[in-house]
Amino acid sequence: MGSLQPAKSLIGKHSSFRSLKEVELEWDRQFEDHPFGVDYGRLENGLVYYVRRNPKPKMRAALALAVQAGSVLEEEEERGVAHIVEHLAFSATKNYENHGIVKFLESIGAQFGPCHNAWTSFDETLYELLVPIDKPELLSQAISILAEFSTEIRIADEDLEKERGAVMEEYRSGRDANQRIRDAYWSLLMGGSKYADRLPIGLEKVIRGVTSKTAKQFYQKWYHLSKMAVIAVGDFPDTESVVELIKTHFSQKTSASNPSPVPNFHVPSHEQPRYSCFVDSEATGSEVMISYKMPVKKMKTIKDYRDGLVESMFLTALNQRFSKISRRKNPPYFSCSLYADTLARPVRAYIMYSTCKEKGTLKALESMLTEVSRARLHGFSEHEISIVRALMMSWIESAYLERDKRKSTSLRYDYVQHFIHNEPVIGIEYEAQLQKTMLPHISASEVSKYAEKLQTSCSCVMKIVEPQSSATIGNLKKVVSEVIKLEMDSNISPWNDEQIPEEIVDIKPNPGNIVKQHEYSNFRATELILSNGMEVCYKCTDFSNDQIIFSGFSYGGLSELSESEYLSSMMGSSFAEEIGVFGHKPSVLGDMLAGKKVRVRTRVGNYMRTFHGECSPSDLETALQLVYQLFMKYVTPGEEVDLVMQRTEEYIRAEERDPYTIFRNRVTELHRGNSYFFKPLKISDLSNVNPSKACEYFNSCFKDPSTFTVVIVGNIDPAAAIPLMLQYLGGIPKPSEPVLHLMSDYIKGLPFNFPTTVVREVVRSPMVEEQCWVTLSFPVELTKVTTVEEILYLDFLSELFETKILQVLRFKHGQIYSASVSVNLSGNMPHRTDDMHGYIRIHFSCDPKISSKLVDIALDEILHLQEEGPSDQDVSTILAIEQRSYENGLQDNNYWLQKILDSYQSRIYSGDIGNAFQVHEEGRSRIRESLTQLTTQSAMQRIMPYPCKNQYTAVILMAQPRASKWLRSALLWKPSDRDTKILAGVAGLTVLAFSFWRHSRKS
């Protein structure tokens, strides 16, 4: 049996997919163990390395240390230790103390944060860094950090005690309904194996009580260099020097001479299905999950690759059906999907997942099983498979065209999978050849056979999730037996395909013409004024070979509406999307677009109406046809309205069950007042929705092209693109009377009513497991004279606050896992002539017992920054973070799209986006040059309340005390006579309040 490695000479770097030659297929030939396109080897101490040169992003390197050790290796007293070791890696090592690694990463503007730099799974632990390498010493130091992780993590009592709180908070913040559902399902899936009870987060008692000795023993036992790999992908001058750096930092490292072999943990199969009915009062909705487990099969040969393609076609074909069913009248579910996933090293599964209306789980389960049976009985039609084939061909074509534009982080992922799971890396060029050769010859009957793998005897696990119990395991078993009988009796009819129109646009419009054209040399863009009044600005880039993105906007939105109009109009977008905003139902349009890379979405916001799209350069005409249809077609209410109303009702019920939503709504009310724009939607509100008015409003939103500005960015060939713009954008007729023709200066603003004093509140909500979230907010005010620069200052301040809050609350006190700081100015965006108002928000979760104390510590830190200013190192850090973000943005189409949109929507825009762009760039440079301890301090005193403790809101979400806990404390309390009378009155009120609460929950 020969080995197979793609020949580089077969494929020219810039040859098109359509001219790509097919390959001869020898089914038994094996892929090389050596991954394609990378320097790959092993050091004498056992460490594996992967090094690849890749220019995107420029002057960046994506690094990783992969360790074949995860939570499944833990003993009972170690449950959670693998994850704790991962945390301790960033706390202290031999050469870095007191979170010195974090400080280094921040100082060079590298990405750092929870879930960004490391994660622990059942079978592996991964450390990742994305670092700038514009200075030679940075790459060396980053690789040295990975070397520290391999053998030099310091695990001492003081390190462990400092990090316990952060790990505990990560554990606590994850104990919501979604996590409980996932954990319960995992235990059901993996029952009978060690994987079932080795969740990486571990046990609370271990997190709180494990000793440093136990953690160190795990580290020394399982972190062996022979079980590790270093991956380095980046914009290197050469790979040889990077390999030498790896050797320099790792060659002298040593591990135990006799490493413990990693055991293989068996996951038993079972012929009888496993069932579960999971009830959680905080569940976001009703769900059905069905899984079919099987052993992992390694992809070694060409035949294995083809089998994987057939499987992908089956999954896609069945998902196409699920999607269409979800859009029918009174569907059994709102969404349903099927996918394959590797659950752990020895086992993978086909997983079907659906969301449905309350008490609808049995109907959803029946439909899901019936569709699998239908596929077994009747298979898929050639028409369905032709659509699937076109979809998959377009996916691989796009990947092939972008082969030299892949990001280093994506390539890093491939090499991690090669090391951890032995997945072959054969190169996108060769994969494209294989798929182009194979896909046309895979038949519908061959795809249909995969339904045999989804039998209830194939280690099947079925689980339903409900907020209130309505189904039993007996009900589930009955549904299964009924569907099996229908299939055995062949009482399931074949699938009935919809008729698909051939053309998106029935009659192509007469092209418009260019009235005015302007070139903006400072950011290399061209602006066109079309004969129907529409403005179009396009920028040609080479960041991606197969991407064009665009966005159109017009001023005027929901803020203009009265309270009587608002509710119905707000629902207009939801109705329109389901009816079909482009003249075709979504299920039909999906088939029409098969084989094309096109997506267009619409949005009606408070101040603007927008559409956004993305397409391949070869599909630009189709994308612009959809925009043309958006303006030309009217949506009218039909049976789709009922589906939208059902979904909305379920969404509202889910929101009412969610403690965090109650908390978020209170924060919004504090800052926005009691405006109808910000009130949470209630089920009783739905009876006041008028679908006809909703559709009428939506139709008016996208009718007048003269009010719209469209920005297009990407791999544009102007010679081909401009005629298409003129035909489908310029061909939109301008109405005889202006429709929603609003200028930004005169748009109605939404209320902003930040309290003028201090507000500290605790919001209590019933919770299954106790959680606590804190939001600390300060108002900000920007004067109209200096708005542009003040907004930039705010960005720097938010970065500074996030860095300092993490330093104090996590790294110093060890009491939070993460914190986020954000700025909200959205309520003021359209006004060019008024001062701007908004707020800056600090958000974190913590132990409820110390939440108020942590608010005070955060306030003290902000006040200290206002009074003393940040350190020079703080200023240097935030400048580095901003600069690295800016450099990355310059290489991204989405950045430039937003930059041009911001120029049009800027307060200083007066018809010349080049000038607005220049003012912003000069303002950024000016602030960067002048940013010091004093200027930053001055900005904090000027933009925010000073001192900050004079005006802020602090809202804390806590669990509602349980009646049993309250009663227990009451029994231990010995009241006086006066207390007895008070207690009797309180008890009466409590019973009344509880009765009302119970009634409100039922309704």
- Residue range 706-758, pLDDT digits in tens: 999 999 999 999 999 999 999 999 999 999 888 887 777 778 888 888 999 99
pLDDT digits (tens, 9 = 90+) for 421-463: 999 999 999 999 999 999 999 999 999 999 999 999 999 999 9
Residue pair 464/471 in contact by the 8 Å Cβ criterion: yes
Per-residue pLDDT at 899: 95
Which of 224-233, 471-480, 788-797 is the least confident region?
Answer: 788-797
For residues 548 and 827, the model is more confident at 548
Q: What average pLDDT does the segment 393-414 reach?
A: 95
Beta strand extents in 122-200 (DSSP E only) = 125-132
Query: Please, which residues bridge with residue 342 across strands?
Result: 348
> Which pLDDT band, with edges at 50, 70 and 90, does 704 fall under?
very high
Count of Cβ atoms closer than 10 Å to residue 687 Cβ: 7
Per-residue pLDDT at 943: 93
Q: What average pLDDT does the segment 466-493 reach?
A: 96
Q: What average pLDDT does the segment 867-879 reach?
A: 94
Q: Give yes or no for a cis peptide into 501 (omega within 30° of 0).
A: no
Neighbour-count burial for 59-86, b at 16+ CB within 10 Å, e otherwise: bbbbbbbbbbbbbbbbeeebbbbbbbbb
The H or E element containing residue 713 is: strand 709-714
* HEC letters along 517-562: EEEECCCCEEEEEECCCCEEEEEECCCCCCCEEEEEEEECCHHHCC
- φ and ψ of 25, to 5 deg: -105, 120
The H or E element containing residue 875 is: helix 872-889
User: Residue 4 above 50 pLDDT?
Assistant: no
Beta strand extents in 255-409 (DSSP E only) = 274-279, 286-295, 335-344, 347-356
Q: Choose the most confident range, by mean pLDDT, from 622-636, 672-686, 781-795.
A: 622-636
Per-residue pLDDT at 786: 63
Per-residue pLDDT at 984: 40
Q: Is 976 exposed, middle or buried (0-12, 13-18, 19+ CB in 10 A)?
A: exposed
Both structure tokens of 339: 């996918």
pLDDT digits (tens, 9 = 90+) for 349-394: 999 999 999 999 999 999 999 999 999 999 999 999 999 999 999 9
Per-residue pLDDT at 584: 94
Catalytic residues: 86, 163
Q: What average pLDDT does the segment 55-67 reach?
A: 96
Q: Is 824 exposed, middle or buried (0-12, 13-18, 19+ CB in 10 A)?
A: middle
Residue pair 152/94 in contact by the 8 Å Cβ criterion: yes
pLDDT digits (tens, 9 = 90+) for 781-792: 887 656 778 888
Mean of pLDDT over the chain: 90
Residue pair 760/776 in contact by the 8 Å Cβ criterion: no
Name which of 603, 74, 722 is nearest 613 in CA terms.
603
> Which pLDDT band, with edges at 50, 70 and 90, does 255 fall under?
confident
pLDDT digits (tens, 9 = 90+) for 883-916: 999 999 999 999 999 999 999 988 788 899 999 9
pLDDT digits (tens, 9 = 90+) for 637-660: 999 999 999 999 999 999 999 999
Per-residue pLDDT at 18: 81
